Amino acid sequence: FEVIGSSTAGACVTKTGADYPGQMFIWNAFASMEQAMAATDKYDPMRATPELTAIREVQYNVMFKPLKSFTLEPASERLWRLNISPENVQPFVSKMTELETALRGAGHKVNVGVFQPIGGGVHETIHLRAVSQTYGESGRLLDDAFSGASWVSLWSEGLALVDEVISDNYEHCQIIYTAK
């Protein structure tokens, strides 16, 4: 991670909704897109050491750009992969920003992120992440939603901008490296 210039790196293990057994991924965070792109010159995951090749099967590699302010505090993460028409991306980001404010105002400790794939090929679409510190907190948020919380209308307005939900799962994410 240090060699490629990561400021932070981590792992996410899919807990529900996995496409295959043992689904997980390694992520790296960078201070800029320039640094993220430069990392591709320094490391190719398809050309790993024999030790790494023996314990993993790389599916693909992709970069993401956060489209709104996002606090990196990985934990219990619900991830939606979404198809959104280009003209609806910014209105969706605005609605998710509004939703995050309402959720926090309702007492939920949650970070909502919207991420644009860069070089994701056919594999990736817009990512929406709702991050809580525990699965219990994620459940409390769902209980609130199903009981008709006022902020659900913001979720519905945001969802109306989505053309298709490709996938919906929960992941357990953690930081495994930080630059010194």
What local confidence, expressed as pLDDT, does residue 68 receive? 97
Burial string for 131-144 (b: 16+ CB within 10 Å, else e) reads: bbeebebbeebeeb
3-state class (DSSP) for residue 163: coil
Compute the distance between CA of residue 160 and CA of residue 174 in angstroms, rounded to an integer: 31
Cβ contacts of 46 within 8 Å, gap of 6 or more: 58, 61
Compute the distance between CA of residue 98 and CA of residue 81 in angstroms, rounded to an integer: 20
- Taking only the tens place, the pLDDT of each residue in 37-87 is 888 878 776 676 777 666 667 565 678 999 999 999 999 999 999 999 999
What local confidence, expressed as pLDDT, does residue 55 receive? 61
User: How large is the greatest C-alpha to C-alpha distance in the chain, in angstroms?
Assistant: 53
Give every residue of the chain whose pLDDT is below 50, as ranges. Answer: none
What local confidence, expressed as pLDDT, does residue 60 receive? 55
Compute the distance between CA of residue 171 and CA of residue 166 in angstroms, rounded to an integer: 16
3-state class (DSSP) for residue 168: strand
What local confidence, expressed as pLDDT, does residue 52 receive? 67
